[in-house]
Amino acid sequence: MRLGMVLLVTVVVGTALVAAFAAMPVVGGAAPDFTLPSQDGTQVSLSDFRGKWVVLYFYPKDGTPGCTIEAHNFQHDQPQYSQRNAVVVGVSVDTTDSHKEFCSKEGLNFKLLADTEHRVVKQYESTMNYKGVEIAARNTFIIDPQGKILKAYTGVDPNRHSQEVLAALDELQKGTSASK
């Protein structure tokens, strides 16, 4: 009887682990779709941006120094993202009200999405523990117009990340136009 129970637990846990690893986004694979509320209260899905390049960035907390620097840099570079047919979308576990206040205070006009249930940050393996609280890790994914992840960054430097992403977009777009 015990052996049977051990086997059952092993199969259940093993199946759960396989399912968890199968859902991990990988460079070259499809970006998992999701729908989250934005700072203006609208529901935004990743699939809404099909046909555009997407810079999907995860960040720890509205209004903190590093997150503010990173957001300001993405905001400052918005014209350059537009020239590259790219949109910037930020995700944290903060609320829509927090995002709204952050955008208003800092003059941000790109989408910040509220993942208060932590589903998307987990789906994109972008979580970290800070003083016992689970928050979003500072990770970024560049997704092509067909919805494929072409580049992933972990633990980015907020001071230079936007310029780093713009350079990567130039390289990736050069590579995709050369292969057509």
Span 97-127, pLDDT tens digits = 999 999 999 999 999 999 999 999 999 999 9
Is 10 contained in some domain? Answer: no
**Residues recognised as catalytic:** 67
Report, as an integer, the average pLDDT of 136-164.
95
Range in 4-13, 110-119, 148-157, 168-177 the model is least confident about: 4-13
Is 8 contained in some domain? Answer: no
Is 20 contained in some domain? Answer: no
66 SS3 class: helix
Is 49 contained in some domain? Answer: yes
Is 2 contained in some domain? Answer: no
Strand extents, DSSP E, 32-173 = 35-37, 43-45, 53-58, 86-92, 111-114, 127-130, 133-136, 140-143, 149-153
- The pLDDT tens digits of the residues spanning 58-67 come to 999 999 999 9
Is 5 contained in some domain? Answer: no
CA–CA dist 65, 59 (Å, integer): 11
CA–CA dist 70, 74 (Å, integer): 6
Is 95 contained in some domain? Answer: yes
Residue with tokens 């570079």: 77
Domain count, the chain: 1
Is 9 contained in some domain? Answer: no
Domain span including residue 130: 25-178
Report, as an integer, the average pLDDT of 41-63.
97
| CATH code, 66 | 3.40.30.10
